[in-house]
A and B are shown apart, each in its own frame.
Chain A
Amino acid sequence: MQDASLADPVEGHTSKAFDGALTQLRLHAVAMGGLVIDQVSTAVRALLDADANLAQTVLAREPQVNDMERTVDREAFELIALHQPVAGDLRMATAVSRITVELERAGDESKKIARFAGRMAGGEPQGPVRAVARYLQHMAELTTGMLRDAVRALDESNSELAERVRARDSELDAEFAAALRQLLTLAMQDQRYLGVTIDTVFALKGLERIGDHAKNIAEQVVFIASGRDMRHKKN
């Protein structure tokens, strides 16, 4: 960036309507992020505590997430059509469109986890679930943390925070691999729990995917701040 700047820069855009629309868009995206974070942590709680009610809450709120995706995406779309943003503003609008997709998919994953939790609930924690409970707990913490940080990075336009989120993805992948090995061992030892094992694998996979979505969101935040496209890059 150059050193020189306009002699008399104004606070925000000359067009207050444009300013308002941009702020509104960011707020709504962050609100959607908050909702999805809530969904994820509630779904995980439902799984770990075998709580059928919590699982139901998640399932009931799922349509809200879908509605928000449509609304926020439409807002971004109209902002581009009506205000012709360029540079940072355009990156923001485009990135928010992509972020809503990631958030919606994360919401979908949390729905699947909640369903699994619902099926598990009511009985004793099954063997496979017990065996990887530690991994589930840890992965859940990691994933929810990543998602929270990614949304916070969006809210604050914090590029460094976003970069850190990206870095944590490998840790999540390692946890997943370890949990998978544990389950494999268990499945080979005792074939009675095969069904539950497969479901548990899907639950773990779901958490891993949510982490991926958080990483993608973080990449979009970096894009907004610096214009660098970090997708599919190692670092």
Chain B
Amino acid sequence: MSANAASVEYAALRRGLSRRKLLDQVFVLVGLIVMIACLAILAILFIDLVRDGADRFTLDFFTNFASRHAERAGILAAWVGTSLIMLVTATCAVPVGVAAAIYLEEYAPKNWFTAIIEINVTNLAGVPSIVYGLLALGLFVYQFDLGQSIVAAGLTLALLILPIVIVATRESIRAVPKAIREAAYGLGATRWEVTKDHVLPYSTGGILTGMILGLSRAIGETAPIITIGALSFIAFLPQSPIQSEFPFISFHWLKDPFTAMPIQMFNWVSRPDQAFQANAAAAGAILLGMTLVMNALAIWIRYRFRKKINW
């Protein structure tokens, strides 16, 4: 008697189980479909660009200046400009961002003033990039008289990615366990020694990741640098930072006019001549490729650092 009742119960258990497992699998399937869809879109985009710009993937493309003839037009000025701008952006954003993050995490007392600062940092991330451009135009280009130059562009983009760097740095500083800090304090370290000897070195992975993610965002920002006046037809390069005579380092390039990859693409796309579409597609593919490489680099760095330091 009871055996029958028991086996009926077990059957009910199994039925319920199969239904729940079915739902489980449905969810996995849905997730998979969505993910594949996204990857597919990215892949289609990339392949499309590559196909359209297939003719242009030659060494000349990288070493030629822009030209009225589509076949001869290259991205030399553009990628040099982008690289130099990224250099300025990184040099400005990282120290300021890291220092701000250290202050907020380690030194700032928990009062209303600190709360206001934190709110504003979050707000910075939400400001439309064109507004950064306007700010830069008024402040950097005219007020500080930096002109429509690489340094202005670099500073503008630094402002743009500052919140990214600050947040990434804060996250990795917070990940350093309290126990490590206590151990350092327990040995008689001052707050700065704790930060310098322990918090910062162990956060390096997170900081680098944040920096690269910020740069990979900045590399594609068009609106701000158009606003401050990137030129779209440049047939010369900024003066080289490395000189052959004393003092061997020149900062003249900072004030030089410039162009950047997104600008160049935009310019080519807007031309009526169909041939330039191929150029734009090729440049787009290269830009996308640069972004992907930077993101991959960020992931690899995070992986390497996580192997050494696993909280």
Direct A–B contact in the complex, CB atoms closer than 8 angstroms: no
Chain A: residues with CB nearer than 8 A to chain B?
none
